[in-house]
Amino acid sequence: MTDTRPVIRLKPKANARAIRHGAPWVFDNEMVTDRRSRAIAPGTVARLEDGDRNPLGTVAVNPTSRIFARMLDRDPEAEIDHAWLSAKLRTALDHRARLYDAPFYRLVHAEADGLPGVVIDRFGDVAAIQPNAAWAEVLFDTLALSVVEVTGVTTVVKNASGRSRALEGLEEGVEVTQGALDGPVPVPMNGATYMADLLGGQKTGLFFDQRPNHAFAAELSRGGRVLDVFSHVGGFALACLAGGATHALSVDGSAPALDLARQGAEAGGMADRFEARQGDAFDTLAALGEAGETFDVVICDPPAFAPNKQALEAGLRAYERIARLAAPLVAPGGYLGLCSCSHAADLDRFRRASTRGIGRAGRAGQLIHTGFAGPDHPQHPALAESGYLKALFYRLTA
């Protein structure tokens, strides 16, 4: 069969070696761009060559994005079709099935699972698909069909929202494309029950990435009082209550998220030990400090304060401020957990900002644990952005 796909080419001085060694992205400044290449429709599958016209692989092209090409397959003749998608999904499913007894996890973590720009979270019989790259938007129907056939889910939610889609020039929206949803989906995790709003919640409705950090916090909180700031649907609070905490206070700016947290507490038989407070996190931390409140475990899991390099310095100051406000609320010998999902703020910078904030609060202690996303969120070895989540746990001894 004659290959009619367009051919795109690296500039002569572009680093073809990085692509050969696994780099999944080619930026626009690395490409030979002319009227022809700029006219390629976003999401088109193409053949990538180096500056000497040697084939590098099969890529998805988006001339409107800074990421001009995303590597799909090292085989320059690969057919990106139903069979190809199903094979990728079966590989991803096999990994998760080895890890989890129940089908609640991140099924596909974008580039790390060989489906660049695609995020799929599984909630039992429901799959929430985020097609965050133009090629996945073009092939969404085929992708959804493959997900149904490979996993056996009966409901598919297309979650076309978020910053990544805007960078790809894609429209936003959330819809059920197969099956039906009649409300939040109960999700069992770490002994707790979470209520995930797949149509109106943040991201796909729940943060599976924090699962191991929830579990670690639960170990620290047995028999103690917990403060969970930026709680969303009760992430750390419910896990800690399931692990034996005597009381948990969830703080979040979203009333709907806190309502879901309450429902989760009720579903888990924890309502008598659960409390929610709506308000700005910084203001609430300051108010709790002024009131002299203390907790055995304090966890702060804010949104990405540094989503890109331009926001890095302001983001680091925000992380430092969170640590400064939270540290005084930790009882002597208690624990402080600080999280960041900002890929622009690497672990070293985040740790220094957090430790500086603790020191500015007049507290001192030990860094006892560094956590990351769970194994259903694998990292692409050549893509630092895939290792975005960091969680630092301190024991404050003074």
Cite the active site residues: 341
| Residue pair 46/9 in contact by the 8 Å Cβ criterion | no
> In this structure, which amino acid lies at residue 116?
P
- Strand 67-73: give its sheet, edge to edge: 7-9, 44-49, 55-61, 67-73, 25-27
| Residue pair 320/392 in contact by the 8 Å Cβ criterion | no
Burial environment of residue 259 by CB neighbours within 10 A (0 to 12, 13 to 18, 19 or more): middle
Helix (H, G, I), strand (E, B) or coil at 59: strand
User: Residues 6 or more apart from 39 whose CB is under 8 A from it?
Assistant: 63
| Residue pair 341/389 in contact by the 8 Å Cβ criterion | yes
| Cα–Cα separations (whole angstroms), residue 43 to 59, 72, 139, 290 | 9, 12, 8, 54
> In this structure, which amino acid lies at residue 367?
L
Pick the closest to residue 228 from 250, 252, 243 (CA basis).
250
